[in-house]
Amino acid sequence: MSGDSPLDRLLSDVVGSGPRSSSDMTYEQAFAAMEGILTGEPDPTVLGGFWIANRWKGNTPTELAAFVDAMRTASVEPAVPDTDPVDIGANYDGKADTPPLGVASGIVAAAAGTPVAVHSADRVPTTDGVTYRHVLDELGVRTDLSPAASAAMVDEIGFGFYDAVRFNPGLHALLDRRRALGLRTFVNTIETLANPTETDVHLGSFFHRPFAERMIATFRESRTLAVDRVVMVNGQEGSDDVRPGTVRLVEWTARGNGPSAVDTGSGTEDQTVELSEIETGEFGVAGDVPSPGDDLAADGARLAREVVRGERRDAAADVVSLNAGVRIYARGDASTLSTAVDRARDAIADGRADAVLATLEGFDPADHVPCRSGPVDHTP
């Protein structure tokens, strides 16, 4: 063995011993490894080796759940709003080619009565792209919020932003090492599952269907996440933005009666996972969103203002309405996606979305006393 720490031993004896002899970790081993990464001072070479070994080995839902639980126990400071929002776990490394639509979509969903909570950081590798945070900054919305202020934003406005730098500082401290490695690792996956609002509905994104199914299995294996509904969208650039065309959805409800049986990666078939495809043209989405300029954050902010104010009648407005509908549908505030999209369009047409934007732009965290927040015992 190369050292005496749990991470050393796991790297040399379990995950990094070779393509034929490596093994999956138990829940306890993976939890201890992530806990050590967050609370100790792992050797940079060992840490990089551990990340790479897990990258080529691939992680099981049990391992991912343990990583998430250790992160939520050792690093995450949740703040629970009185509402029960949809948790948006979009990729933290953002988009590089198209402006994010999530801010506009979240505002419209909030105006239609569906509270939304989003979380991200600033220029996360490997894409180092544009996220919710950057669009909100362009709108002049405060993003350097304490978790308590974020929860107050959700309750007051129906749309709230949680700053990962503030609510997940242990993971954020790894940013320089992640950037030096230059590769995506399991950290890119688990940061999207932090769930700082402790809500029970998660909306996530995927490139390939097996990843979506693995995320659902991770929620099921977790001992700290009490999520009982997950909707994963095959979004643009791997984000949560539904794009024009054919879009795949993967849904899971803890006690649902979905007709499809798929292998979620946990060794058993989950009868509650539903696979579907939607044709965005059926929801009035015709054509593509206009090509972006050189500043994606500014484009996203301008698009958000113009759409929620009812100034656009083009594909951008239709796509935002569809994405807002996905949020409304995911939370169960509409029984069908079609009904949800209609509610989103109504919220734009009658001025409610514009009112939410105005309130969001004027939100001042200094006006709010701290709400429920602080360390929560997530020990499995």
Q: Do residues 187 and 222 share a domain?
A: yes
pTM over 0.85: yes
Q: Do residues 303 and 341 share a domain?
A: yes
Q: SS3 of 270, please?
A: strand
* DSSP codes, 174-237: THHHHHHH-S--HHHHHGGG--TT--SEEEEE-SSHHHHHHHHHHHHH-SS----EEEEE--GG
pLDDT of residue 5: 77
Q: Do residues 121 and 229 share a domain?
A: yes
Domain edge (last residue) among 50, 74, 98: 74
Q: Do residues 95 and 238 share a domain?
A: yes
d(CA 166, CA 11): 30
Q: Do residues 40 and 123 share a domain?
A: no
Q: Which of 33, 31, 25 is nearest to 6 (CA)?
A: 33
Q: What is the CATH number of the domain that holds 46?
A: 1.20.970.10
Alpha-carbon torsion (122, 119, 142, 353), positive or negative = positive
pLDDT of residue 20: 80
d(CA 291, CA 125): 24
d(CA 195, CA 138): 25
Tell whether 80 is covered by a domain: no
Tell whether 213 is covered by a domain: yes
Q: Do residues 213 and 324 share a domain?
A: yes
Q: Do residues 297 and 236 share a domain?
A: yes
Q: Do residues 170 and 253 share a domain?
A: yes
- Quick: pLDDT tens for 169-223: 999 999 999 999 999 999 999 999 999 999 999 999 998 899 999 999 999 999 9
Residue 258 exposed, middle or buried by CB count within 10 Å (0-12, 13-18, 19+): middle
Rounded alpha-carbon distances, angstroms, from residue 90 to 39, 52, 59, 86, 196:
26, 23, 20, 12, 14
Q: Do residues 177 and 47 share a domain?
A: no
Q: Do residues 142 and 272 share a domain?
A: yes
Q: SS3 of 278, please?
A: strand
Domain count, the chain: 2
Tell whether 371 is covered by a domain: no
Tell whether 373 is covered by a domain: no
**By residue range, what is the domain housing residue 55?**
7-18+25-74
Preceding amide of 189 cis, omega within 30: no
Tell whether 149 is covered by a domain: yes
Tell whether 1 is covered by a domain: no
Which of the residues in the chain have pLDDT under 50?
1-2, 256-269, 369, 371-376
Q: Do residues 272 and 200 share a domain?
A: yes
What tokens appear for 352 in the block? 């409610």
Tell whether 376 is covered by a domain: no
Q: What is the CATH number of the domain that holds 283?
A: 3.40.1030.10
Q: Do residues 153 and 11 share a domain?
A: no
Tell whether 60 is covered by a domain: yes
